[in-house]
Structure 1
Amino acid sequence: MSHRVWFSCLLLCLPFNTRAVESLSFTFAALEFEGFRASEVALRLTWSDPEHLDLTITSGHLDSVFSGQMTQVRVQCQQAVYKVDTIICEHGILTGEHDSLGRIEGDFQFTYRLQQGLLSMSLHTIMPAGGMVDIHFTRNALDWRGMLKMEAIKAQHFQGILALYPYLQGHGLTSGLLDGSVEIAGHADSIDAISAQIKATDLGIDGTNTLEGVTLSAKLMGQREDQGWHIVNEVALQQGAMYLMPGIEVLGDKPGFYLEVQNKPVRIHTDMNWKPGDRIEIADLRIDHPGQMQLRVRAMVAILDKPALSSLDLAVSLPDLAGAYPVYIQPLLLQTNFSDLEVSGAVDLHVDYADGRLNRFVLAMEDVYIDDRKERYSLSGVSANISLTDQADPAESRLQWEGMSLYRLDFGPGDIRLESSGRAIRVVDWQDVGVLDGTLQINNLSLKNVGSADFEVLLDGVLTPVSMQAFTQAMDWPLFSGKLSSVISGLKYSHNSIDIDGDIQVRVFDGDIILRGLRVWDVFSNYSTLATEIEVDRLDLEQLTDTFAFGKIEGSLSGRMERLKLEDWQPVYFEAAFASPDGDDRQHRISQKALENLNQIGGGLSGTLSSGFLKFFPTYSYGRIGFNCRLSNGICELGGVEQTADGFYLLTRGGLLPPWVDVKGTGHSIQWEDLIGGLKRIAKGEVSLE
C-alpha cells in the first residue's frame, strides 16, 4: 500500500473527540502523491476546537515534476478547517530552499478532499532579492495541473536550467529579469502538456555562447502525442547582442554566429514533433530578420545513434546580401577562400532534399557583386535563375554577369543558358568570354550528381591566344612577348579537387612551356595543394634575359620540372633540369653582366673579369648552359650542365669565336628562400657589379 493511501486512511481515522486528544504527531520516511515525493516528513496536528486545528508540516526534501526541488520545507497553518475527509488551510506560511529560486517564504493555502481526490495549493511569495512568484497547483483523481507566475525575478535564479542543455553546460547567467507564466499539466509522474509566456529583459549569459543586454519574449506550447511531443514556439528578439555556437560541423569547422538586434525584432517560429531517441520532425521553422533574411525550413532528423538529416525543404531569401553575409554566411565559410568578401545584391534559394537525393534546387540572384578583400577574385552585376530538378522534363536556367576577375586577370561579360534534368545540368548556349585580348570558348560544361557527395563538374573548352604582353602587364610582371593558349580537355572538379587531362600550352620567348597532369586539391580551402609536370622547349634566352635586368644571354633553353608540388601556392618539392638543347642552332654568347650574375649563382668564375684582357670584351662564347635543382624540405640541391668531382658547371667553354669562358659552381646546396631572393635582386638590377 502506498504512502498516499496510508496518509488518506490517517485522515479518516483521526479522532473527533478532541477533548480526549489535543494533539497528534507523525513521522514518515517518505510520502508520495501524483507529481510529488516528500522525504523526512513530520506532521503535527493541534486542535483548538472540533473543526479547527493548527497544522505544522516539515520535510527535508520535496521533489515535484511541476515546481522542482526544495529542501528544509516548513508549512505552518493556524486555524485550519478540519472535517472528516477534508483539511482546508486558508492562512498558511511556507518556507524553504528552492533549487533555482533560493530562499522562499510566502503565503500558502491548500485544500485536500479525500473522497473527491482533490488537492489544491497556492503560494504567493515576494523574493528577498526582489520580484514576486505565485504558484498554483490542483490535482484530482485523474490528473494534475500547475501554474507558475513570475514578476521581475532575477534570471540568475534559474542557473540550474542551463545544465539541462548540453550546449549550455558550463555557462553562467549573469544578468536579466524574467516576467511571465508557465503552466504544466500531467498525470502521476508524467508531464502531458506545457505552455509558457516569458519576457526576459537585459538577459546575459557568459560562456561559449554569449548573450548581452538581450530583451526577448517567448511563447511555448507543448503537447504529448504518441510517445512524443508536439511543440510550438514563438520567440521575438527585440534588443541586444548574442554570439551562438550551435555545435554543428560545417566544412571541418564548428561556426559561431554573431547577431545584434537594434531596430526591428527578429522573430522565430517553430512547429515540431519530437520523439525522444528516434527523430525530430520540423513541420515549420521560420526566421524573419527584417531586411536581412527570411528563412523557412521543413525537415526530418533521425537521432537514433547520431543526428542525420533524412529530408529537408529549405527556402531562404536574402534581400540585402551585404547585411546577411557577415551574420549568416561568413561564419559557415571561415575555412574556405570565401571567408573575407565584400558583397551586395539579393539572393533567393530553395532546396528540396530527401533520402540522400537533391530533388530540387532553385537559386535566384539579382544584381549581385562579390569582391574578395584579398584581391583574388571578383564578380559584378550577376543575375541568375538556376533550377536543378530530378525530373525527366528539363528545366531551363540562365546565368549572366557583367564582369569578373581572377587575381589580376579581368574577364568580360558572360551569358550562359543551361538545362537540367535527372539532377544534372548542362550548358546549351554560351557567350564566349573575353580574357584580356583573347577569348574563353566553352565546348562542354556539365554538372552531375548535384547535391550528393559525388558531385562533379566537367569542362572542355579552348583559350584562344592571349598576348603575353597583355598577360604580364595585367599581372604587374616584367613585359613578355609571345602568346598564352590552351586546349582545356577533360577538366574535372570532384571531391574538392580539380584535374585536367589535357595540356596547358604557353607560347612565350619564341618557345613553348607545357603544363601536364595539373591537379589541385582542397580548392575551396585556405590551404590548397597543386601538382603538375612542366616541360620547356627551346626558349630564346635572348628574349628571356632582355625581359629582366640579368644581362644578355644568346642561345636556347629546354628542360623539365617533374613532380612539382605547391602547398599554399609555395613550392615544397620538384626535380628540375634545364640546359641548352642538343643541336641548338642559335649562337651561344653571354654578356659580361650576365656572366657576373651567373657567377652570383654558381659561386666562382674560372677567371677574373675585372683584370686582364677579358674585361675589354663585351660578350663571350660558351658551349652549353644548364642548371639543376632538387627542392626538398626548403633546400635546393644544385647541379649544372656538367658534373665534376668537386662541383658542377653552370656554363661550359665552347662556341665559334673567342674569348671562351665557363662558370663553375662550388656549392652543392642552398636554402630555397636565399636562392629565390638572390634571383629577384638580380632580376630587378639590385646587385651591384663593378
Structure 2
Amino acid sequence: MPRAILHLLPLLMLACALPAQARTMSAKIARVTTPVATLEGVEVRLDWPADAATGELRLRAARVDAPDLGYRFRALEWRCPLARDGQGGWRCDGELHADGGKPFRLSIALATGSTDAALSQGKASLALHRSAATPDDTILDLTRVPFAWAQALSAQAWSDGRLTAGTLDGRLAVRTPEQRPLRVDGTLVLADGGLETPDGSIAAAQLGGRFHIDYRKPAGSTLLSLDGELRGGQFLYGTTYVVLPGRPLPFALDAIGRDGQGWMLPSIQWRDGAALQAQGSVAFAPDASLQDVDIDLRSHDLSALGARYLSGWLGIAGLPDLEASGALDARVRLAGGGLSSVDARLHDVAIDAPGKGLAFTGLDGDLRLSGGAPVDSELRWRSGALQGITFGAATLPWRSADGTLRARAPVSVSMLGGQVRFDDLVVQPPAGGNGLRIGFGLALQGLQLGELSQTLGGPAFRGTLDGSIPAARYADDRLDFDGGLSMQVFDGSVDVTALSMERPFGVAPTLSADFALHGLDLMAITEVFDFGSISGRLDGRIDGLRLVDWSPETFDAELHTEPRRGVRQRISQRAVQNISSVGDASFVGSLQARLIGLFDDFGYARIGISCRLSNQVCVMGGLRNPDGNRAGGGFTIVEGAGIPRLDVVGFNRNVDWPTLVERLAAVGSGDVKPVFE
C-alpha cells in the first residue's frame, strides 16, 4: 500500500500551485495516470484563509490501482496543514486513511528540485525521495517496515502466499522509465519473517537474512534475482521440513515467472558448509508443485543433514531419530513432475536409528535410479543390526529402468548363525501419488532361535528357523507375506502363515499372523521356562494374533497334548502348582489335596487350555470333550491318569489379561507359593 499512496504526488503539486490568497479552492479530476499507478475519482480541496501562514489540504481518491505492484485501494483520504518552506517549496504532514483501516502518517516535502515523503505507522517508516535530475527513479528507505506491507507485491509473483510476520529494513530503487518495464532493486534485511499458504503445505517462521533484490516486470512475465544469505528460521514445503542454523547461509537464485505458467528458477545456489552444497535449476507449476528439477547435491558431513533438512521425510518413514555420518554426492532430475534420474555416491556412510534398533556401517558405492533406459549400480555395507540382531556384509547389485530398482542377483546376508536370502528384490520409489513400494522373496536357512531369543531378552530356545516366503510386498506402510515360515524348535515345528505388518517403521507397529504347533517336546519347553517339568508332545494353534507395538491385542489360542507311542506323559508337582496359580484352577477331590504334597510327579491322560483375547479379557477354556466341561461351569485343564489320579480344573473363564501376564511373570521368576485346596 505505501508506494501506491505516494504516487499521489502529482496531485499535491497541482494543489500547491493554487493561489495562496484564495480562501477555498477545489478541483475534481476523473482520472490521473502515472507510470506506476492510475487514480480515479480524485478530489483536491485547499482551504487557506486570507493572510494566514498555513492552509489545509484535503485529498481524496475513489480508486487507486497499481497493477505492476499489485495494489488496489478504495476511498483514500489525506488531510494535512499545508505550509511554505521559505525556499519556494511546500510541506504537508497529516493522517492518511484507506478503506477504513488503521491510519498512517504521511509527510511530504515538495522542494524546487526534489520530493521527499515519509509514510509511518508506529515504529515502522517508509521514506521516499525523488530528484528532478532523475525523474524516472524513486528511492525508498525502509525502517522496521512490516513484512506484510509487501503482500500485494508478493502476490504478483505468488498468489497463494500470505506474509504473516517479520520486518524489513533497507533501501530500494524503483525505476519507471518511459516505454520500459518497472524495475525494483536494492538491499533488504529481513527479521523474524513468516509466511504460509491457505492449506498449510508451504510455511515459514522466524526467517532472518540479508539479500539483494532485483525485480523486473516486463509485459506478461516477472523477473526476480535474489543474492544474499539467510540466518536462522524454519520452513516447510510439503513433507520437506528445513531448520536453518543461526549462522549465515549464502544463497542465490534467478527466477522467471510467466502469467499462468508457473515459475522457472534457472539458477539456484545454496551453501551450508559441509552439511549441504547445492546448485542447479527448478521449475514449478502454477499450483507451486514441482515440475522439473536438475540439481547437484553434495554433503561432506551427513551428521547435520537429517535434523536440518530431512526430518519431515524421516518422520513419515518412522525414523525421526535417525543419525548418520559419512559423505554423499548426488544428482537428482525430475521431468514433468516425474522422476527422471538419481545418481548418488555414498562414501563410508553409517546410519543409526536407535528408536527402531536399525543400524548400518560402511555403506559405500553408488545407487543409480533411471526413469528411462537401464543403468547399473552397486551398493555395499560392512555390517548392520536390526533390533539388536547383528548381520554381516552384503552387496546389492542394482539395475534400474522406468523408475524402478531391481537387484541383478539374489542378496545373501549372514545372520544368527545362518543365512537370509532376498530373491527378486524390487524397489519402486514414491511417484505419481504412490508411496514407496518394495517386493521380494525371502529364504531363511539355519537361523538359531536360541541366539535370536536371547538377543531379544527371552529364554534360550533350542532349534532353528528355516523356510521361505515366495513373495512379500511393502506398500502404503504395510508389509504382507505370501506363503509361510516353518520353525524347527523343541524337536517339533511351528508354522507361521497369514503374516503381515502395518507401520513396520512407524508409530505403533502392528503384526498379524497365524501359528500352528506340531509335536513340540513339552519337557524341553518347561525346562527353558523353568515352569516345572511336563513330558509329552504339544500341538495347537494361535489364530488371528495381532500385536500392537509388540503387545498382544487379540488372538484365539488353543494348546493340547497328543499321545505318542513310546512318549511318557508325566507332570511335576511344581508344574501343577504353576498351572493352578496362573489359571485360577483347583485340584479335584479331597484325596488329591491331601496326597499332592507326597508325590514329585503324576501321570496324565491329556492337557488342554485355550484363551480367546479381546478387549484385554482372556476367555479361558480347557479340554474339548464332554468330560471337559464340568458342572458349575468349570473346565478341565489336566485330566489325570493312574494312581494317584490328579485332575486340574479351572473355574474363572474371564481373566483380566494384564493380571494373567503378571502371573506368568511371577511363575518365570519362581515367585509362586503352593496352595492346596
Deviation at 1:450, TM superposition (A): 6.8
Aligned to 2:111: 109
Q: Name 1:123's counterpart in structure 2.
A: 117
Per the alignment, in what secondary structure is the counterpart of residue 339 of structure 1? coil
Q: Which residue of 1 aligns with 2:45?
A: 42
Cα distance, 1:608–1:466 mapped onto 2, change above 3 Å: farther
Give structure 2 stretches of 5+ with no counterpart. 1-6, 197-202
CA distance in 1, matches of 2:91, 2:598: 116
Give the deviation of 1:340 after TM superposition: 0.9
- Name which of 399, 419, 423 aligns with 2:399: 419
Checking the alignment, whether the CA contact within 8 Å between 2:319 and 2:355 is kept in structure 1 is no
Question: 1:647·1:664 contact (CA, 8 Å) conserved in 2?
Answer: no
Comparing 57-66 with 520-529, greater Cα deviation is found at 57-66
Find the counterpart in structure 2 of residue 115 from structure 1.
none
Trace 1:532-611 onto structure 2 (pairs within 5 A).
532-581=513-562, 583=564, 586-603=567-584, 604-607=586-589
Partner of 1:622: 604
Change (3 A) 1:95 1:269: same
Is the contact made by 1:270 and 1:286 (CA closer than 8 Å) also made in structure 2? Answer: yes
Structure 2 residue aligned with 1:223, among 194, 216, 221? 216
Partner residue of 1:281 out of 227, 239, 264: 264
Comparing 162-171 with 677-686, greater Cα deviation is found at 162-171
Query: Which secondary structure state, in structure 2, belongs to the residue aligned with residue 432 of structure 1?
Result: strand
Match of 1:72 among 64, 72, 78: 78
CA distance in 2, matches of 1:455, 1:334: 14
Cα deviation for residue 509 of structure 1 reads 0.9
Select between 318-327 and 161-170 the one with higher mean Cα deviation: 161-170
Letter in 1 for 2:618: C
Q: 1:660 to 1:103 in 2, by over 3 A?
A: same
> 1:604-642 CA deviation, whole Å, 9 max, x = no partner?
222479952221100011121112122222222111113
Superposed CA offset, 1:175-232 (max 9, x none): x6712224253889xx9433232342765769985428x4x22122223345232222
Aligned residue for 1:197? 186
Q: 1:154 aligns with which of 104, 122, 144?
A: 144
Is 657-666 or 280-289 further displaced after alignment? 280-289
Q: More displaced, 375-384 or 131-140? A: 131-140
Q: Percent identity?
A: 20
Q: Does structure 2 retain, via aligned residues, the 8 Å contact 1:443–1:461? A: yes
Aligned-partner Cα distance in 2 for 1:203–1:431: 51
| Contact persistence 1:127–1:133 (CA under 8 A) | no
1:662 shift after superposition: 1.5
1:234 maps to amino acid: D
Q: Quick one: which amino acid aligns to residue 668 of structure 2?
A: A
Number of matched residues?
635
> Equivalent of 1:521, from 499, 502, 509?
502
Residue 206 of structure 2 aligns to a residue whose secondary structure is strand
> Partner letter of residue 229 of structure 1?
T
- Secondary structure of the residue that 2:244 maps to in structure 1? strand
**Relative to structure 1, is the Cα distance of residues 423 and 506 closer, same or farther in structure 2, using a 3 angstrom cutoff?**
same
Shift of 1:375: 5.1
Corresponding residue for 1:59?
59
Separation in structure 2 between the aligned mates of residue 546 and residue 492 of structure 1, nearest angstrom: 38
Deviates more, 1:459-468 or 1:576-585: 576-585
The answer to whether the Cα contact below 8 Å between 1:623 and 1:651 also exists between their aligned partners in 2 is: no
Q: For 1:350, give the aligned amino acid.
A: R
The CA distance in 1 between the partners of 2:70 and 2:555, in whole Å, is 71
Aligned to 1:136, what secondary structure does the other structure show? strand
Q: Is the 8 A contact 1:444 1:461 kept in 2?
A: no
Q: Distance in 1 between matches of 2:258 and 2:536?
A: 79
Counterpart Cα distance in 1 of 2:521 and 2:401: 51
* Pairing 1:233-312 to 2, within 5 Å after superposition: 233-237=226-230, 239=231, 241-244=232-235, 246=236, 248-250=237-239, 256-262=241-247, 265-303=248-286, 306-312=287-293
Change (3 A) 1:435 1:178: same
Change in 2 beyond 3 A, CA 1:278/1:623 = same
Conserved in 1, the CA contact under 8 Å of 2:537 and 2:561?
yes
1:534-555 CA distance string (max 9 Å, x none): 1111111111111112111111
Asked if structure 1 preserves the Cα contact closer than 8 Å seen for 2:254 and 2:265, the reply is: yes
Distance in 2 (CA, whole Å) between partners of 1:643 and 1:610 is 20
1:369-518 alignment runs, 5 A limit: 369-374=350-355, 376-392=357-373, 394-429=374-409, 432-448=412-428, 451-452=431-432, 453=434, 456-518=437-499
State the distance in 2 between where 1:510 and 1:403 align: 32
In structure 2, which of residues 309, 314, 322 is the aligned counterpart of residue 328 of structure 1? 309
* Residue 84 of structure 1: aligned partner: none
Relative to 1, partners in 2 of residues 1:167 and 1:357: Cα closer, same or farther, differing over 3 Å?
A: closer
| 2:282 maps to amino acid | A
Moved more, 625-634 or 89-98: 89-98
For residues 127 and 377 of structure 1, the distance between their equivalents in structure 2, rounded to whole angstroms, comes to 56
Alignment partner of 2:639: what SS? Answer: coil
- Indicate which of 646, 668, 672 corresponds to 1:661: 646
Q: Any conservation in 1 of the 2:484–2:498 contact (CA below 8 Å)?
A: yes
State the secondary structure of the residue aligned to 1:477.
Answer: coil
Contact 1:110/1:122 (CA < 8 Å) preserved in 2? Answer: no
Query: Matched residues in 1 for 2:119 and 2:404: separation?
Result: 66
Aligned partners of 1:621 and 1:653 also within 8 Å? no
1:365 Cα shift? Answer: 1.4
CA distance in 2: counterparts of 1:101 and 1:146, whole angstroms = 27
Query: TM-score with structure 1 length normalisation?
Result: 0.81
Post-superposition offset of 1:399: 1.0
Structure 1 match to 2:4: none
Residues 55 and 78, structure 1, Cα contact 8 Å, conserved in 2: no
Contact 1:299/1:309 (<8 A) preserved: yes
**Pair 1:358 & 2:360 matched:** no
What is the Cα-based RMSD across aligned positions, in Å?
Answer: 4.0
In 2, Cα distance between equivalents of 1:671 and 1:660 = 30
Shift in CA distance, 203/492, structure 1 to aligned 2, threshold 3 Å: closer
Between the aligned partners of 1:335 and 1:450, the Cα distance in structure 2 is: 12
Amino acid at match of 2:91: I
State whether residues 74 and 94 of structure 1, in contact with CA within 8 Å, keep that contact through their aligned partners in structure 2: yes
Q: In structure 2, do the counterparts of structure 1 residues 595 and 404 end up closer, same or farther at CA, with 3 Å as the change threshold? A: same
What one-letter code is carried by the residue in structure 2 that aligns with 1:666? F
- Paired with 1:30 and 1:587, the residues of 2 have a C-alpha distance of 112
The alignment partner of 1:381 has SS state of strand
Q: Distance in 2 between matches of 1:423 and 1:42?
A: 71
Query: C-alpha deviations, 1:435-487, integer Å up to 9, x for none?
Result: 02112233432335774527633322422102222222222211111111221
Q: For the Cα contact (< 8 Å) 1:243–1:258, is it kept in 2?
A: yes
